[in-house]
Structure 1
Amino acid sequence: MSPDATVDQVVRFVDLAGVLANAVLGGIAARTARLDVVGFVVLAILSGLGGGMIRDALLQAGPVVALTDPLYLVMALIGAGIAFIIPFRGRMPRLVLALLDALSLGCWANVGAQKTLDLGLTVIPALLMGALTAVGGSTVRDVMLNKKPAIFGGNTLSATSALLSSAITVGFYAVNSQWLGSIAAIVSATALSLLARRFDWGLPTEVHPARRAKQASTWLRGWWSGIGNRGRTGDHEQDRQDAPHRPSTVDDPKEQST
């Protein structure tokens, strides 16, 4: 078996495992929102298959893969059923889900970028489709729940990890080494996502240049006035030291009496 075929099988396995893991995450979100069975199924499908469905619809390169390959939809339904039965309150189940989520993030970004390049599109669309494939499902799920999408703030750096995976895929695709690029993209994105989750990494939220400039100018004025105050204070100290040695300008009372 050729290395490309082996990598394709591994990628497909990770892809399906990612569908299952993200479908379970969608079901957990439905449980948190206290939805019924229909809510579990809808959020599981959107979370597990939403990114790939949006990608295939935008690329217009044939039918949506999630609809032509029944195993994808089956895995999403299994994930919904698992989340409906099991509450996933233990530490170990959540760690396994976090690992599968990170793996699927890198895998989906790699698959999305590679499919875009196979269609003859350029680097920018490949990066966009890779990131959209990876985070599209979770974004749609959060919007359906009227929540701020996790890609706009969080400690997993989902969008950053997806862009990293897409960029590595594009780089290795340019040198005609897709199988090595798939491995490097998945491992790098998974590592970055897990490290961000472990050490609570995040991106900057906002910058206040006007306030910083005001603070700098206030400090400068205070520094400059401090020099002036020290100078004036030094002059007063010198005057007090020189005062006993200066001749008195008041007449002596004894001389006035004589």
Structure 2
Amino acid sequence: MSDTLLLILDLAGIAVFASTGALVGVRKELDVFGVAVLAMITGLGGGVLRDLLIGAVPPAALEDWRYLVVPFLTSLVVFAFHPTFGRREREIMLLDALGLSLFCVTGAAIAEEAGLNVLSASALGMLTGIGGGMMRDVASGRVPVVFRGELYATPAFAGALIASVVHHQDWSQWWYVLAGAVCLVWRVVALQRGWSAPLPPGTTHV
């Protein structure tokens, strides 16, 4: 994957995730600073964790000003026009699924470039996708979505695994589209059909 395409996808994922974090902040009735912080945590958290684990320090989010400006500006837009965003819950969920698919692909590719094997790169790709949302939920006092039975981490791992194999085999960049599509479609279908991860026998989802 070219550096330019990787940067574009990374910033797009950050913007998408930042919007979901900002919306959570608005619904928690935080002030503009709190909304901005929650947006930046959501947009950057997974990537920062990935970079720290592969030894890429300082993380890209602190080296490139665009990684800080994109989620900050996104948070201001959501803060200013939150009634519009709040009425589009379905679209926000789709955006979150899109962000997940972008991050699992870019996270896996970056981990592969750092020299990790396919399985390890897949795990870090998944972490890139779910890490920011987990931090957002913990910071806002919610149970992280990955612990609520929803199929969230599994589609991310599937997309990351495909992206890792594509990068490892040096296949055409178009194969990354397949990796992202697998994650996106799986997540969207799971939302529409109410699919969830299995629970221990005798228990039910709350």
TM-score tier after normalising by the smaller chain length: 0.7 to 0.9
Provide the TM-score with structure 1 as the length reference: 0.71
1:146 is matched with which residue: 141, 146, 163? 141
Deviation at 1:63, TM superposition (A): 2.3
| Equivalent in the alignment of 2:70 | 75
**Cα 1:9/1:119, change in 2 over 3 Å:** closer
Deviation at 1:58, TM superposition (A): 1.3
Q: What is the alpha-carbon distance in structure 1 between the residues aligned to residue 45 and residue 38 of structure 2?
A: 9
- Confirm or deny that 1:205 pairs with 2:196: no
- Confirm or deny that 1:128 pairs with 2:123: yes
Deviation at 1:123, TM superposition (A): 2.7
1:189 is matched with which residue: 170, 183, 193? 183
Does the CA-based 8 Å contact 1:173-1:181 persist in structure 2? Answer: no
Q: What's the secondary structure of 1:22's corresponding residue?
A: helix
Provide the TM-score with structure 2 as the length reference: 0.88
- Confirm or deny that 1:99 pairs with 2:94: yes
Q: What's the secondary structure of 1:205's corresponding residue?
A: coil
1:171 is matched with which residue: 165, 172, 183? 165
Deviation at 1:29, TM superposition (A): 0.9
Deviation at 1:125, TM superposition (A): 1.7
Deviations, residues 86-138 of structure 1 (Å, cap 9, x unaligned): 122323xx444333322221121111112222222223321221111000001
- Confirm or deny that 1:162 pairs with 2:156: yes
Does the CA-based 8 Å contact 1:40-1:84 persist in structure 2? Answer: yes
Runs of 4 or more, structure 1, over 4 Å off, are: 8-11
Deviation at 1:184, TM superposition (A): 1.2
Q: What is the alpha-carbon distance in structure 1 between the residues aligned to residue 7 and residue 57 of structure 2?
A: 19
Over the aligned positions, Cα root-mean-square deviation in angstroms equals 1.9
Deviations, residues 24-83 of structure 1 (Å, cap 9, x unaligned): 211111112111222111101000111001111111124211112211211100121122
| Equivalent in the alignment of 1:58 | 53
Counterpart AA for 2:18: A
My pick for the range that moved more, 98-107 or 28-37, is: 98-107
| Equivalent in the alignment of 1:233 | none
- Confirm or deny that 1:32 pairs with 2:42: no
Deviations, residues 171-223 of structure 1 (Å, cap 9, x unaligned): 22342215133111111111111111111111112125xxxxxxxxxxxxxxx
Q: What is the alpha-carbon distance in structure 2 between the residues aligned to residue 100 and residue 9 of structure 1?
A: 22
Q: What is the alpha-carbon distance in structure 1 between the residues aligned to residue 53 and residue 36 of structure 2?
A: 24
By relative contact order (CA 8 Å, sep 6+), the higher-ranking structure is 2
Q: What is the alpha-carbon distance in structure 2 between the residues aligned to residue 79 and residue 107 of structure 1?
A: 17
Counterpart AA for 1:130: G
Unaligned runs of 5+ in 2: none
